[in-house]
Amino acid sequence: MKKLKDKIEDLFDNVIINDFYQNRIFVKTNKESVVSLLNYLKELGYDHLALVSCVDHVEENEFELVYILSAYIHNEHENQEKTNIIIKTRISREKAKFTSIINLFENAEPYEREIFELFGVDFVGHPRLKPLFLEINYETPPFRKDFDTRKFVDDFFANIPIIEEIEDEK
């Protein structure tokens, strides 16, 4: 039987695969082939989207989007490798934009909303890109590396005065 790693390498160009750990395959690819790669893996039986994450590489001025897939237990895919596939791609940090994958995996919806809110990545095709967690607007999305929480706390919360009680006039 062909290994999953070889299958991916045969079908897709521009992939760098690293299977350093047991049961984990890290696939680095360009942003055009992410959706087709996810589609292909879903058909292979890797139909559980565990996580969509984002890493801010501020020095390279890039965001790294991370999709983690694993497999549910199906009888028809008995021989598949029980592995986690971690698909990574880089997008530019300026006006960050990517395709939404809700059509493929329904549970990507809140993850994409979260990344939109905390990193400021715009997902094209997402039906309700509105704030998920935050109540007030931050100038920089707070999970970006250039957002300094300690400075923000000093500027924002420390400036609110303590209540001074009005003396009773007797």
Partner 1 sequence: MRKLEMYFGPQHLGMVGNFSITLQVEGDRILEAEANPGYLHRGFEKLMEQRTWMQNFPLVCRINVVEPDHIELIYAMGVEKLAGIEVPERGKYIRSIYCELARVASHLFGLWAYANMLGFDTVANWAMYHRDLLLDLFEELTGARVYHIYIRPGGVRRDFPAGFEDKIVKTLHKIGSKVPDYNSTFFENKLFEKRAKGIGKISLQEAINMGAVGHAIKALGMKYDIRKIEPYAAYDQVDWNVPTRKDGDAFSRLLAIRDDMIESVHMIFKLIDKMPKKGDVYTKTPNPFKWRIPDGEAYVRCESSRGELGLYIVSDGGLNPYRVHFRTPSYSHGLTILEKALVGENIADVGNIMISFYVVAPEIDR
Partner 2 sequence: MDRNQIGKWLRSPQKMSNKYSLHAVYFCTGCGIIEIPPSITTRWDAERFGIIPAPNPRQANLFLITGYVSLKTLKAIIRTYEQMLEPKYTVGFGSCPINGGMYWDSYNTIKKLDKYIPIDGWIAGCMPRPEAIFVAVTHLWTLIEKDMATGYIKYRKNYKQYRANQEKIYGSLDWPPLYK
Q: According to the binding rule CB under 8 A, does residue 169 interact with partner 2?
A: no
Binders of partner 2 among 79-138, rule CB under 8 A?
133-136, 138
Query: Near partner 1 by CB under 8 A, which window of 5-13, 93-101, 141-149, 162-170?
Result: 141-149
- Asked if residue 164 binds partner 2 (CB under 8 A), the reply is yes
Q: Is 49 a binder of partner 1 (CB under 8 A)? A: yes
Q: Rule CB under 8 A: is residue 48 a binding residue for partner 1?
A: yes
Three-class DSSP category at 118: helix
Which among partner 2, partner 1, none contacts residue 50 (Cβ within 5 to 8 A by kind)? partner 1
Tokens 């299958």 map to which residue? 7
Of 42, 54, 132, 137, nearest in space to 97 by CA: 54
**Interface with partner 1 (CB under 8 A), residue from 6, 14, 21, 92:** 21
The phi and psi torsions of 49 (rounded to 5 degrees) equal -85, 110
* Interface pick for partner 1 out of 2, 95, 150, 170 (rule CB under 8 A): 150
The long-range contacts involving 158-166, CB below 8 angstroms and separated by at least 24 positions, are: none
Residue 38, token pair as written in the block: 């996810």
| Residue 3: partners with Cβ closer than 8 Å, 6 or more residues away | 81
Q: Nearer Cβ to partner 2, position 125 or 131?
A: 131
- CA distances to 54, 112, 117, 129, 156 from 142, in Å: 13, 15, 8, 17, 14
- Residues in contact with partner 1 by CB under 8 A are 21, 23-24, 26, 47-51, 53, 55-56, 66, 68, 70, 72-73, 82, 84, 86, 105-107, 109-111, 131-135, 142-143, 147, 149-150
